Structure 1
Amino acid sequence: MRFIATFDAASFLDTVVSLAAAFILGTFIGAERQYRQRTAGLRTNVLGAVGAAAFADLASRIGGPTDAMRVVANVITGVGFLGAGVIMKEGLNVRGLNTAATLWCSAAVGSCAGTDMLAEAMLITFIIIAGNTVLRPVARAIDRLPLDERTSEVSYEVRLTVDTPALSALRDRLIEALEESRYPVGDVEEQPGPDYTAVLVAKLVSTAVDPAELDGVVERLEQLPGVRHATWESTTEE
């Protein structure tokens, strides 16, 4: 049998150590994700780490370091597609980015374990778990800081609810009022409104905005004949 002829106990033991290390380290990473009830939990992270280790170990044994690097490069791409499956968009919110990144890093741990870099695999595991635990309160503290809308990366929209007959004239007046205040308009959309009205949505070109100044522009627009309501809103860019 070819298996008996090609079997090498030392190489097999090396594979066992690599896969076992990937399994254990992937368990540590996945346990934290499972505890927080994330989409990619314990089993997903373990299988991602073990799979990456298996491919890297196989390439190292059959081809050598060069082939191992090629396989690792393809593992990175493959896990990237797998991570995309845990990312969900709910309205303006995007969920799962951190879980997808963790799964990607689990594959890095497995790749290190598969190429016999066990110390590096343990170091990456420590950093991943620290990033998902120690940095969590830091991120929450930053989120509680007041948002400076003049310096943050946000998009702005000015909305006018107008009578339909005055739509064309008020569209031009909206653009003029904003540009007079040095707020260039990138685009103006027309949307249907209730009770024979329409909604003009002016999207501002990315710029620094003074909220008090923009409030004044909106107040002046609301005084125009045919305007029923005027407001503006900001959305933080991803």
Structure 2
Amino acid sequence: MHALTTVDFLVRLATGVACGALIGVERQWRARMAGLRTNALVATGATLFVLYSVAVDDTGSATRVASYVVSGVGFLGGGVILRNGGGVRGLNTAATLWCSAAVGVLAASGKLAFAVLGTLTILAVHLLLRPAGRLLDRAPAAGSDPDAPVRATLYLVCERREETHIRALLLQSLAVSGLTPTGLRAHRKDEETSSIQAAVEINGDVAPALEQVISRLSLEPGVQELHWHLDEEDAEREPVLA
């Protein structure tokens, strides 16, 4: 293996940073959690780690370092995955960070053309497969009625002294969102807290319909816990990953 020159180092590093930044531009444009700088930094770090192993001229070291980079980025990706109501957010962002690291490893290994091709492929997945995914989301499942209402339950825990106010606010927020509860139950858990459950039927997408209600109630200082879930009979018909 020939010695890594300063020019080679700079060319490979610049390619890794540029490819990561290009991926980040698309993410930033769509206002995702990990945007331009994050993807560029992930690609830069992956490139530098592998460049180090190349610079010390240790046979086989680059492969080992690349495997460590994959593991490390896995922890980083886990930090951007968030639970949001009945769904999960950040899966695409975590996968994109993982891909940015792979692009950096390719650039650091001297496979500059492969790094560019990898970057273009990642961008194509985001730009071309997004409309296809939305079409699949809208496609009704076999044997299901797309116009049938979806039943969901909104659950919250609040301070007992705020129960009356929170219950009234919940009903008001549902009315503002055009939702009518099919059932409402309040239960005093202990001397200081109460739980409230509201069952609703929704025509259309569940998450947008409940988003306004969740956002409004989450601002109340007396609310200690707040989430929603689909009823069991509708769980298979309605996707919960976003």
**TM above 0.5, one fold?**
yes
> Are residue 233 (structure 1) and residue 230 (structure 2) matched?
no
Task: Give the 3-state SS of the residue equivalent to 2:5 in structure 1.
Answer: helix
> Are residue 62 (structure 1) and residue 56 (structure 2) matched?
yes
Query: Which stretches in structure 1 are left out of the alignment for 5+ residues?
Result: 1-7, 151-156, 160-192, 196-230
**Given residue 70 of structure 1, which amino acid in structure 2 is its aligned partner?**
R
Aligned-pair distance for 1:20?
0.3
Equivalent residue number for residue 21 of structure 1? 15
**Given residue 9 of structure 2, which amino acid in structure 1 is its aligned partner?**
T
**1:135, 1:65 → 2: CA distance?**
39
Equivalent residue number for residue 87 of structure 1? 81
**Given residue 234 of structure 1, which amino acid in structure 2 is its aligned partner?**
D
CA shift digits 1:200-223 (9 cap, x unpaired): xxxxxxxxxxxxxxxxxxxxxxxx
Q: Percent identity?
A: 45
What's the TM-score, normalizing by structure 1? 0.61
> Are residue 104 (structure 1) and residue 98 (structure 2) matched?
yes
CA shift digits 1:167-207 (9 cap, x unpaired): xxxxxxxxxxxxxxxxxxxxxxxxxx658xxxxxxxxxxxx
Equivalent residue number for residue 115 of structure 1? 109
**Given residue 55 of structure 2, which amino acid in structure 1 is its aligned partner?**
R
Aligned-pair distance for 1:234?
2.1
Task: Give the 3-state SS of the residue equivalent to 1:94 in structure 2.
Answer: strand
**1:83, 1:12 → 2: CA distance?**
32
Task: Give the 3-state SS of the residue equivalent to 2:234 in structure 1.
Answer: strand
CA contact (8 A) 2:17 2:43 kept: yes
Task: Give the 3-state SS of the residue equivalent to 2:54 in structure 1.
Answer: helix
Query: How do 1:44-63 residues align onto structure 2 when only pairs under 5 Å count?
Result: 44-63=38-57
Task: Give the 3-state SS of the residue equivalent to 1:89 in structure 2.
Answer: strand
**2:124, 2:5 → 1: CA distance?**
33
Task: Give the 3-state SS of the residue equivalent to 1:234 in structure 2.
Answer: helix
**2:76, 2:143 → 1: CA distance?**
36
**1:39, 1:124 → 2: CA distance?**
22
**1:123, 1:149 → 2: CA distance?**
42
Larger Rg: 1
**Given residue 233 of structure 2, which amino acid in structure 1 is its aligned partner?**
E
CA contact (8 A) 2:46 2:101 kept: yes
CA contact (8 A) 2:88 2:240 kept: no
Equivalent residue number for residue 175 of structure 2? none
Aligned-pair distance for 1:143?
0.6
| Number of equivalent positions | 160
Task: Give the 3-state SS of the residue equivalent to 2:49 in structure 1.
Answer: helix
> Are residue 36 (structure 1) and residue 30 (structure 2) matched?
yes
**Given residue 81 of structure 2, which amino acid in structure 1 is its aligned partner?**
I
**Given residue 111 of structure 2, which amino acid in structure 1 is its aligned partner?**
M
Q: Equivalent of 1:11, from 5, 16, 23?
A: 5
Task: Give the 3-state SS of the residue equivalent to 2:99 in structure 1.
Answer: helix
Which fold has the larger relative contact order, with Cα–Cα distance below 8 Å and residues 6 or more apart in sequence? 2
Task: Give the 3-state SS of the residue equivalent to 1:134 in structure 2.
Answer: helix
Aligned-pair distance for 1:23?
1.2
Stretch deviating more after TM superposition (22-31 or 63-72): 63-72
**Given residue 102 of structure 2, which amino acid in structure 1 is its aligned partner?**
A
Equivalent residue number for residue 121 of structure 2? 127
Equivalent residue number for residue 206 of structure 2? none
What's the TM-score, normalizing by structure 2? 0.60
CA contact (8 A) 2:86 2:240 kept: no
Aligned-pair distance for 1:233?
2.6
Equivalent residue number for residue 76 of structure 1? 70
